[in-house]
Structure 1
Amino acid sequence: MTGFSEANIQDNAHILDKDTNRLIIEKNDRYFQTKEQPQIIVRTVKRVNKLTPKHLNKFKRTVFIVAGVKKNKHNVQIYSSRDLHSAFTADTQVNIIHAEVSELRSRNKATFNKGLRFVFKACATTIDQQYEYSLDKYDLTNDEQTKISHPHKIALPIALAIALLITGLVYFFKKDPKIKK
């Protein structure tokens, strides 16, 4: 472990497991070997609100994944330094978190860490695409990337089913002679 790696993990809520720690350290070590040296910092805190990192505007090429934990509630947020705002738009951040929302809300530590690793890999993939790095084992697969880029696949079929139901009800009420206005 390098001194650079240790600064990327701040587990104040003591919820990160060794697989999550290893992923964070290994990917950030790879970033440390690049010209741009981006960072993904993962912090856990013992609160679920006010998760914005202090002095965020002073960081460059940095993404923060902040997990707030209080009792049985979890809140995960993604923040990026100003130079990465174009890659981490609000929609991108929401889509990443919503792709694994059930795992991120889980009270089970292993399940929560699985979701957090997904969020980390999604952020790493976004950074790799931003700086045109080649994708590696620490990035999302194509199927996982599709899960993020098309999070509302089920919304259209549901909307069509509701429209058909309403159309059917309107037709039924217009045709039924027993129903008078």
Structure 2
Amino acid sequence: MGLVTVFLITTGFVQPNIEDHAHILDKETHTLVTEKNNRYFQTKEQPQIVVITVKRLNKLTPKMLDHSKRTVFIVVGQKGKKRNVQIYSTKDLHSAFTEVARGNILRAEVDKLRSQNNATFNKGIRFVFRACATRVDQQYQYALDKYDLTQAEQNKVARPHSVALPIALALAFLITGITYFLRRFSHRDPISKK
């Protein structure tokens, strides 16, 4: 009876690795999440990366965020055809998962994360998971393994596709056009007065 009580107490507070309430994660994603977290369970620090899917697009902050340690949460909200993917980390991992880092991870595979095709979407989620695992491994100085990003993929996360350049070019073109028309009309005014 005592052993059963100890077992229930020690395992009752462990966050499961996957909570797929929206039923969108495939077998390959389940396998990746389970295997990498099993490796983490064998380390001294025992970090964890949890993937949660819910049937809503807002209020995605995990309930266990403030009560957990060394945990990263990848939360997928889905309502109808829309999906929202967010990354959260516990306070002890904030330095590895800054707002910029989380944004870069999500932007690196934004096309796959927006896909309506479930297989493509799962590829995107696996990339996000692997990117988070790479940052956790670097934070705790673990040796990188087959579940982590390659150097080329890490470069992709470090320099994700940015919409800033096209927007800047469009603004420059717009300003140039406005300046051209203003100069043209300002030159006509003195001529018409003569």
Q: Tell me, yes or no, whether TM beats 0.5.
A: yes
Q: Say which of 68, 84, 96 aligns to 1:87.
A: 96
Residue 179 of structure 1 and its aligned partner are, at CA, apart by: 4.9
1:136 aligns with 2:145: yes
| Pairs within 5 Å for 1:97-108 | 97-108=106-117
What is aligned with 2:127?
Answer: 118
What is aligned with 1:180?
Answer: 188
1:25 aligns with 2:43: no
> % of aligned pairs identical?
64
Please give the TM-score of this superposition, normalised by the length of structure 1.
0.86
Once residues 87 and 131 of structure 2 are traced to their aligned partners in structure 1, the CA distance between those partners, rounded to angstroms, is 11
1:54 aligns with 2:63: yes
8 Å CA contact 2:107–2:161 kept in 1: the answer is no
Please give the TM-score of this superposition, normalised by the length of structure 2.
0.80
C-alpha spacing 1:69/1:168, structure 2 compared with 1 (3 Å) = closer
Which structure is higher in helix share?
2
Moved over 4 A (4+): 164-169, 171-174, 176-179
Q: Which amino acid aligns with 2:122?
A: N
Q: Which amino acid aligns with 2:38?
A: D
What is aligned with 2:154?
Answer: 145
How much is the aligned-residue C-alpha RMSD, in angstroms?
2.5
C-alpha spacing 1:49/1:162, structure 2 compared with 1 (3 Å) = closer
- For structure 1, the residue ranges without an aligned partner over 5 or more in a row are none
Q: Which amino acid aligns with 2:188?
A: K
What is aligned with 2:25?
Answer: 16
Q: Say which of 61, 70, 79 aligns to 1:70.
A: 79
- For structure 2, the residue ranges without an aligned partner over 5 or more in a row are 1-10, 190-194
Q: Which amino acid aligns with 1:122?
A: A
Residue 155 of structure 1 and its aligned partner are, at CA, apart by: 3.6
How many residue pairs get aligned? The number is: 177
Flag the structure with larger Rg: 2
What is aligned with 1:109?
Answer: 118
8 Å CA contact 1:6–1:25 kept in 2: the answer is no
What is aligned with 1:40?
Answer: 49
